Amino acid sequence: MQTVDSVIIGGGVVGLAIAAELAGRFPGRAVVLLERNAACGQETSSRSSEVIHAGIYYAGGSLKARLCGQGKELLYEFCRRWDVPHRRIGKLIVAKNPDEAATLEGLMTCGRLNGVEDLELLDRSRVKALEPRVEAISAVWSPSTGIIDSHGLTARLAWCAAEHGATIACRHEVLGIEKAASGYDVRFLGPDGTQDFLHSCWVVNCAGLGAERIAAYAGIDIAAAGYRLYFCKGEYFRIPLSKGRLVEHLVYPPPYKDLLGLGIHVTKSLDGMTKLGPNAFYVDRLDYDVDAGHIEEFFTGVKDYLPFLARDDLQPDTSGIRPKLQAPGMPSRDFTICHEADRGLPGFINLIGIESPGLTSCLAIAGMVADMIEL
Ligand SMILES: Cc1cc2nc3c(=O)[nH]c(=O)nc-3n(C[C@H](O)[C@H](O)[C@H](O)COP(=O)(O)OP(=O)(O)OC[C@H]3O[C@@H](n4cnc5c(N)ncnc54)[C@H](O)[C@@H]3O)c2cc1C
C-alpha cells in the first residue's frame, strides 16, 4: 500500500482548488486527488450558471456569506493571473410590482451586511438605461457580479495543482475508508478494474453529490450528524441568439423565502448564449434530462420582466443537480466544512452540501481547508 500525506476525494472545482492550495502551501508533500470520472469537473462544476456571485443573499455570519465574498475577490484575481475567461458583467435583481420592490430594500441591507458595498437601488428610468427591453419598476444593481468559463477554471485549477506537484488520478473511485492506527486506508477502484489502497493521515471529502456516501464510509452516522444529502435538480432553457442579444446583463427576480434556488433568471455565458434557469425541484436519482414539459414554468417565471419573449423561443438545454443538506420543506442550510476530530476522526475533513455559491467560493474554501491541515 502506498502512503501519501493527503488524499482529496473529488475533482470538481472545490477538490482541485484544495489540491492546488495544499500542494502549493506544503511543497514536497504528497497530495493525491482521486476522481471517479474520466476527467475532472464533469459533475456539478460543469453544470452551473457560471456566475461569480457577489454574496448578496446569504444569512449574515454564514460560511456561504463569508466564503462567497472572499471567494469572489480571489476568483477575479485568479482569472486575471491565469487568463481564465470571465467578465464582470453585472446583475440586476428586478421588481415588477410594489411588493417585490419592498423586498429589494431588504436585499440591499442583507448584501451590505455581507460586505457587498457596491450595490445600488435603481428606479425605473435607471433600469431602462441599463436594460431598455426589461420591464421593472425598480432594481438592485450589483456591478461586481460576473460570469466565468467554468471549464476554463477547472482546467486551470488542475494545471496549478499538477504544477505544484499534486497527483490527479481520474478513473479512481473511492469505495471505502478504513481508520488505521494513524490516518486512513482509502480503498479505491482503479482504471484497470482492480481495487487498491492509499494510506494517508489527511483525507478531504469534497465528493459533491457523493459526499454523504464518503462520510458514511468513514463511519459517520449520517442521520445523526445531519449529513443526509437531498438532490435538487435545476434545469435550463435557452433562448435564440437574436432574443438573447436584447439583454446585456444577468437579470434575476427577487428571491422568495420558500424558493430552493434564486428564481428563474437570465444567465449569459461567455460564448454569447443566453439561458433561463435554473428551476429547482427534488429528485431521487441523478439524471440530467431536461423535461420539455417545464416550459410553462419557465415562461411564466420570466414573461413579466422579459415581455419580448414568446413561449416558442424557449428550448430545453442543460441541467445540474444541487447537493442540498436541507430536506424538502426545511429551511436553507449552510455549507458544512468540518474537521471531524470531535467524532474520533482526526485528519478527516468533510465538505458537505457545497451547493451555490460553491463555484464562486472554491478558492476561499480551499484556503479554509488548508488552514485546518498540518502537513
Ligand atoms: C443548477 C446549478 C447552478 C449553479 N450555479 C452556480 C453559480 O452560478 N455560481 C456558483 O458559485 N455556484 C453555482 N452552483 C454551485 C456550484 O456549481 C457547486 O457548488 C460547485 O461546482 C461544487 O463543486 P464541487 O467540487 O464541490 O462538486 P463537484 O463538481 O460535483 O465535484 C465533486 C466530484 O467528486 C467526484 N466523486 C464523487 N464521488 C466520488 C468517489 N466515490 N470517488 C471519487 N470521486 C468521487 C465526482 O465525480 C465529482 O467530480 C450551481 C449548481 C447547480 C446545480
pLDDT band at 1 (very low <50, low <70, confident <90, very high): confident
Residue 202 within any structural domain of the chain:
yes
Distances (CA, A) of 199 to 4, 30, 174, 186: 6, 11, 13, 6
Cα(199) to centroid of ligand 1, in Å?
A: 25
CA distance 289 to 274: 19
Q: Which of 359, 362, 369 to mutate to test the pocket of ligand 1 (most atoms within 8 A of CB)?
A: 359
Q: 167 and 131 share a domain?
A: no
Q: 181 and 34 share a domain?
A: yes
Q: Backbone dihedral region of 284: left (phi > 0), alpha (psi from -120 to 50 degrees) or beta?
A: alpha
Instruction: State the pLDDT at residue 255.
Output: 84
Q: Whose grid coordinates read 451547493?
A: 355
Instruction: Give the CATH number, domain containing residue 185.
Output: 3.50.50.60
Strand partners, 92: 141, 251
Residue 60 within any structural domain of the chain:
no
CA distance 220 to 371: 23
- pLDDT tens string 277-329: 999 999 999 999 999 999 999 999 999 999 999 999 999 999 999 999 999 99
Q: 287 and 268 share a domain?
A: yes
Mean pLDDT over each residue of the chain, to the nearest integer: 96
Question: What residues contact residue 163 under an 8 Å CB cut-off, 6+ apart?
Answer: none
Q: Whose CA is closest to atom 3 on ligand 1?
A: 48
Q: 313 and 188 share a domain?
A: no
Residue 80 within any structural domain of the chain:
no
Report yes or no: 72 and 55 within 8 Å, Cβ to Cβ.
yes
Instruction: State the pLDDT at residue 300.
Output: 93
Dig out the grid coordinates for 37 from the structure.
470520472
pLDDT tops 70 at residue 258: no
- pLDDT tens string 78-132: 999 999 999 999 999 999 999 999 999 999 999 999 999 999 999 999 999 999 9
Number of domains in the chain: 2
Answer whether 0.75 is exceeded by the pTM: yes
Q: 111 and 170 share a domain?
A: no
pLDDT tops 80 at residue 178: yes
Return the axis-axis angle of helices 13-25 and 150-163, rounded to nearest 10°.
30
Residue 266 within any structural domain of the chain:
yes
Cα(44) to centroid of ligand 1, in Å?
A: 3
Cα(47) to centroid of ligand 1, in Å?
A: 8
Residue 79 within any structural domain of the chain:
no
Q: Which of 40, 147, 298, 356 to mutate to test the pocket of ligand 1 (most atoms within 8 A of CB)?
A: 356
Q: Which residues line ligand 1 (CB under 6 A)?
A: 9-15, 34-37, 42-45, 47-51, 53, 173-174, 206-210, 214, 234, 278, 320-322, 354-360
Q: 261 and 276 share a domain?
A: yes
Q: 37 and 167 share a domain?
A: yes
Q: 179 and 317 share a domain?
A: no
Q: 190 and 269 share a domain?
A: no
**Domain span holding position 239:** 98-143+230-324
Residue 173 within any structural domain of the chain:
yes
Distances (CA, A) of 251 to 91, 254, 264, 276: 6, 10, 9, 10
Distances (CA, A) of 203 to 5, 179, 183, 265, 289: 9, 11, 8, 37, 33
Q: Which of 21, 48, 229 to mutate to test the pocket of ligand 1 (most atoms within 8 A of CB)?
A: 48
Residue 272 within any structural domain of the chain:
yes
